[in-house]
Structure 1
Amino acid sequence: MLDTTYSVETPEGVDLRAQAAGPVPRILAYGVDIFYRSLILIALAIALAFAENAGLGIWLLCSFLLEWFYPVYFEVMHGGQTPGKKAFGLVVVNDNLTPISWSASLLRNLLRFADFLPFAYAAGVVSMTLGRHFQRLGDLAAGTLVVYRRESKAPQTLPDVTPLPPPRGLQLQDQQALISLIERSGELSEARQRELAELLEPLTGKKERAALDYLRSVGTWLLGGQTGGK
């Protein structure tokens, strides 16, 4: 059985994992997006029919914008999901599993012309099929990949703690690593959890048990402000 697990180890020693999406669900998601874009263009054509040449110019401009910036807008502004990807539970992320950036989304989508070569996205399909993580050429250039969206998981049962906001300077990747640490607390020994917690001592100023308790409080805050054990 093909293992599609994609794993990244953070500087704090916490593994972030996701399941890479293969060609079939990605092609189906792309088909859904083409359907929605086609509906928009048909509606615009009907609305602009009276404007003759000017209407044609506006329609062509809208067609260009939809072709190149429809996916960029949704990927950046809607959590890495176009309507098609959302329908199939897919999400685009950076290859370190952080949310996709404007520059990465622009690059991966502008390079779709390379994936299209020589016809019908043949190069992109071949790249996804041969690559371990199903990345098309645009993904490889932009440092992105498409994964299955993880369902939100309730945090592991913890001792009652008061939620605390994260310390200043805690980067997004560190926050994701902390959430992963809280969710996997049942899989890690107490000693290993303390070891990982101490790696953030420069930010927390705490050691050993105090560091772990503090990070549990921050973790419950990041997971929605719910106190552990409730």
Structure 2
Amino acid sequence: MLDTYREVVTPEGVALHLPAAGPVPRALAWGIDFAVRLGVLMILSMVLALLGRLGQGLYLVALFLVFWAYPIVFEVLWRGQTPGKRVLGLRVVAGDGAPVGWLPAIVRNLLRSVDMLPFGYAAGLVACLCDRDSRRLGDLVADTVVVHVPARLAHAPVPGVPALAPGQPLRSDEQAAIVAFGERAPKLVPARQAELAGLLQPLTDATGMEGVRRLFGIANGLLGRR
């Protein structure tokens, strides 16, 4: 089952494309979380064994919390991610792309008991394979979806050219375009830099590499640098 995109249109009319995660990365994330929980329980069992019968009672409480409260608390307080999901770059969100809340997180995790039927998450796997967004039964009922977290792109700093003020007022999108040019142009060959800068000759009143240098200066000015 390949990962796909779930399109959500916000009330403002903006289309969001959420990269839904398939069953394989989800299963790997679950395996990591399962290993974490087992490790926590092993440590607790060794510590609570020193308390005798009281320790046995506390261990049963801890067993319940680790296996049932663990995913709920992490998904709500850690922006939809458990440790396993964070390692795999996954996140649980609401069906409309909003952060997952307490009620959906509780519902989707309590329904794991249904997804596990008849064994080995068989029902959940069948649901994932049949749903275009790879949602298991718990996700369908809670209206949640597991998505890939988009990688954050690191922007290179604008070259250290003295700041310049633009010779005319600029809209916010024009300002963003000039700053983006300043951050990305150093990765281009000089000929391509000059070609792009030539499109803004009315703003810079220069061509070639001098136009590029002036755009770098305007970008630094827009960023508040000197």
TM-score bracket, normalised by the shorter chain, equals 0.5 to 0.7
Identity rate of aligned residues, in percent? 46
Report the CA distance between 1:158 and its aligned residue.
Answer: 3.5
Please say if 1:4 is aligned against 2:4: yes
Report the CA distance between 1:159 and its aligned residue.
Answer: 3.8
Gaps of 5+ in 2: 156-171, 177-219
User: Is the 8 Å Cα contact of residues 158 and 228 (structure 1) preserved in structure 2?
Assistant: no
**Structure 1 stretches of at least 4 aligned residues deviating more than 4 Å after TM superposition:** none
User: Is the 8 Å Cα contact of residues 21 and 148 (structure 1) preserved in structure 2?
Assistant: yes
Which secondary structure does the structure 2 equivalent of 1:7 belong to?
strand
Residue of structure 2 in register with 1:174 after alignment: none
RMSD (CA atoms): 2.3
Count of equivalent residues: 164
Give the alignment's TM-score, normalised by structure 1: 0.67
Residues 22-41 of structure 1 mapped to structure 2, 5 A cutoff: 22-41=22-41
User: What is the one-letter code of the residue matched to 1:111?
Assistant: L
Residues 154-173 of structure 1 mapped to structure 2, 5 A cutoff: 158-160=173-175
Residue of structure 2 in register with 1:166 after alignment: none
Please say if 1:113 is aligned against 2:113: yes
Q: Which has the higher contact order (CA 8 A, sep 6+)?
A: 1
Gaps of 5+ in 1: 162-226
Report the CA distance between 1:160 and its aligned residue.
Answer: 4.4
Residue of structure 2 in register with 1:97 after alignment: 97
Q: Aligned pair in 2 of structure 1 residues 37, 229: CA closer, same or farther (>3 Å)?
A: same
Partner deviation per Cα, 1:73-98 (whole Å, 9 max, x = no partner): 11010110000000000000001011
Residue of structure 1 in register with 2:81 after alignment: 81
User: What is the one-letter code of the residue matched to 1:13?
Assistant: G
Residue of structure 2 in register with 1:53 after alignment: 53
Report the CA distance between 1:151 and its aligned residue.
Answer: 2.4
Which secondary structure does the structure 1 equivalent of 2:91 belong to?
strand
Residue of structure 1 in register with 2:125 after alignment: 125
Partner deviation per Cα, 1:148-170 (whole Å, 9 max, x = no partner): 01123589x83449xxxxxxxxx
Q: Distance in 1 between matches of 2:18 and 2:31?
A: 24
Q: Which has the larger radius of gyration?
A: 2
Q: Distance in 1 between matches of 2:112 and 2:2?
A: 27
Q: Aligned pair in 2 of structure 1 residues 228, 119: CA closer, same or farther (>3 Å)?
A: farther
